[in-house]
Structure 1
Amino acid sequence: MTSPAKKESMPSIIPDLRTEYHAFIRDKIIRISSGGVLGIGYPNFADGNSRTSVSIAWGIYRRLATEESANHAVEAVSAQARGNRFEDATLAFLQKAFAFLAHLRPGEWHLATDKNIASFDQYRHLAYLSSALERDKALKTIFGASSDYVVTSDIIVARLPVTDEEINREHSVVDDDPQIAAHTRFRQRNNPHYPILHASISCKWTIRSDRTQNTRTEALNLIRNRKGRAPHIVAVTAEPLPTRIAAIALGVGDLDCVYHFALPELRESLIELDNLDQLELLDMMVEGMRLRDISDLPFDLAV
């Protein structure tokens, strides 16, 4: 009796998209800066003044680099361009990955960069507040600057409200009774103009002390100033030092979780360097559900 032929294995989508994400970052964002404490240059997501940061970054870079990318000459990339390209790369990865999870999270979704949260249903009142504060100096003195309230997210994930036709597609769920389901914002009949903010994603190419508090403040504003459910609030980073990642990952009540652009590669680099202190901290954040890989993010957004 002949054994049945083995089905040819197909490449998996998320690993392929992750590889594509890394290829863009490697080719369009990562550059080798001259100097640094090791005297051999350093990848531009490292702190050139920190021996540990440079060593870890080189370990990650070697795991992402190819022979071609390591040898060809490339143009310089400014700090602003690095941040913008990191946002674009992360957005592209999420758009492609989230599309393959549509059967798990059906609906009409919108992903974009640089969106003011006052554009969304839970925060639409902030547009009025911002306008009032700009007009009235006395109010501004009491409540502070309008920019303190209105956050511009690096990446947003939003869902559009649904029509009654969609709600009733399988069964007669709602009708025209004005007292039934009259206030839910998920129903387009009640909320014809504002998408619902599902997630706010902060992209931090690196983490420095002067940026840490800004990330937490934006997250707390999203929580405190909402009318309705809180969105997912997460950060994505390429920071190589676990101690600096911990500055935004540890703690509760603001960020849901932090996602690293290359978490397995970061861990392998720490093992290679035998840096047990940083490795212990990294594992603590992972096991404590405060740090995950970028490949986890599309699935977590589907929750």
Structure 2
Amino acid sequence: MAADLARLRPDLQVLSSGAAAEFEQYEHLGVFRTFKQAIGKAPADLASLVESLEALPLGRERTSALRKARALAGRVLKQQDAISALLRDTAEESLLGIDLTVASAGGAGKPRLEVALSAKWSLRTDRAQDCVSQGAKLVSQRRGRMPHFAVVTMEPRPAMLRILADGSGAVDCVYHLDLPALEHAVRLEAAAATAARWPPLETFERLCAQRRLRDYDELLNEVRRI
């Protein structure tokens, strides 16, 4: 699918297994992790400085420099304890990995995320909830325009498709890789059913009428419009 979209729009950045923090609207999510990595280097750097000063020839300047360096190291260690407690007690928001991303150039900064896709060959209840959770986080944690977030699947059961397509709006829509074939199969099953009304067919027709369930070709059109 990534290769398909990349051929369609070679001017866009199409990647598999992307992290939201790599894009303009979500780059702030990486600040906390970067801070933790950077702050941990200070004690080691100061220890190295003290060792370098101790190797200098004896003299008044060496003694003065060592005194200042050791005092600074003591203050940094106290600050480090406070920072460690803060980091330990502060919740860090995380995003699930995005299966496929389509991004445009973001000027001098990071690329702008235009389309984020969760790819599920089939659906289980827990997989569907992962998609909803990911969409909700993309909505709440963004700074800037919301990317088009959708699920791409081959799931054949209308009841499972409804879990995603009937959601609260965290998922824009569900793209089916072969919606015409699925429609044909659902109508065949409905015709063979003994009841006058077959709920799976009603669910399928409603999802399509509301455009909550769409064919994969419509995803291609969405990418063309970027």
Map 1:197-236 onto structure 2 (within 5 A).
197-236=113-152
1:277 maps to which residue?
A: 199
Question: Structure 1 residues 260, 197: CA separation in 2 closer, same or farther (over 3 Å shift)?
Answer: same
1:261 maps to which residue?
A: 177
Contact in 2 for aligned 1:233/1:256 (Cα 8 Å): yes
1:112 maps to which residue?
A: 15
2:32 maps to which residue?
A: 129
In 1, Cα distance between equivalents of 2:187 and 2:117: 29
Name stretches of at least 5 consecutive residues in structure 1 with no aligned partner. 1-89, 100-107, 162-187
In 2, Cα distance between equivalents of 1:279 and 1:140: 51
Contact in 2 for aligned 1:122/1:229 (Cα 8 Å): yes
Shift of 1:141: 3.6
- Indicate the structure whose relative CO is greater, using CA pairs within 8 Å and at least 6 residues apart: 2
Contact in 2 for aligned 1:98/1:298 (Cα 8 Å): no
For residues 180-235 of structure 1, what are the alpha-carbon distances to aligned partners after superposition, in whole Å with 9 as ceiling and x for unaligned? xxxxxxxx2xxx13111111000011110121211111111111111110101011
- For the pair 1:91 / 2:13, whether they are aligned, the reply is no
In 1, Cα distance between equivalents of 2:85 and 2:134: 24
2:102 maps to which residue?
A: 157
Question: Structure 1 residues 264, 251: CA separation in 2 closer, same or farther (over 3 Å shift)?
Answer: same
Shift of 1:139: 3.9
Contact in 2 for aligned 1:261/1:294 (Cα 8 Å): yes
TM-score by length of 2: 0.70
Identical-pair percentage: 29
In 1, Cα distance between equivalents of 2:36 and 2:125: 30
In 1, Cα distance between equivalents of 2:119 and 2:105: 24
Map 1:42-53 onto structure 2 (within 5 A).
none
Contact in 2 for aligned 1:149/1:225 (Cα 8 Å): no
For residues 80-117 of structure 1, what are the alpha-carbon distances to aligned partners after superposition, in whole Å with 9 as ceiling and x for unaligned? xxxxxxxxxx2222223446xxxxxxxx3111101111
Of the candidates 163, 167, 172, which is equivalent to residue 251 of structure 1?
167
Shift of 1:251: 2.5
TM-score by length of 1: 0.53
Question: Structure 1 residues 255, 94: CA separation in 2 closer, same or farther (over 3 Å shift)?
Answer: same
2:220 maps to which residue?
A: 298
In 2, Cα distance between equivalents of 1:111 and 1:137: 40
In 2, Cα distance between equivalents of 1:259 and 1:158: 19
Aligned residues: 174
In 2, Cα distance between equivalents of 1:253 and 1:295: 21
Shift of 1:131: 3.9
1:87 maps to which residue?
A: none
Higher helix share: 2
Shift of 1:242: 0.7
Contact in 1 for aligned 2:132/2:167 (Cα 8 Å): no
Q: Which protein has the larger Cα radius of gyration, Structure 1 or Structure 2?
A: 2
Shift of 1:133: 6.6
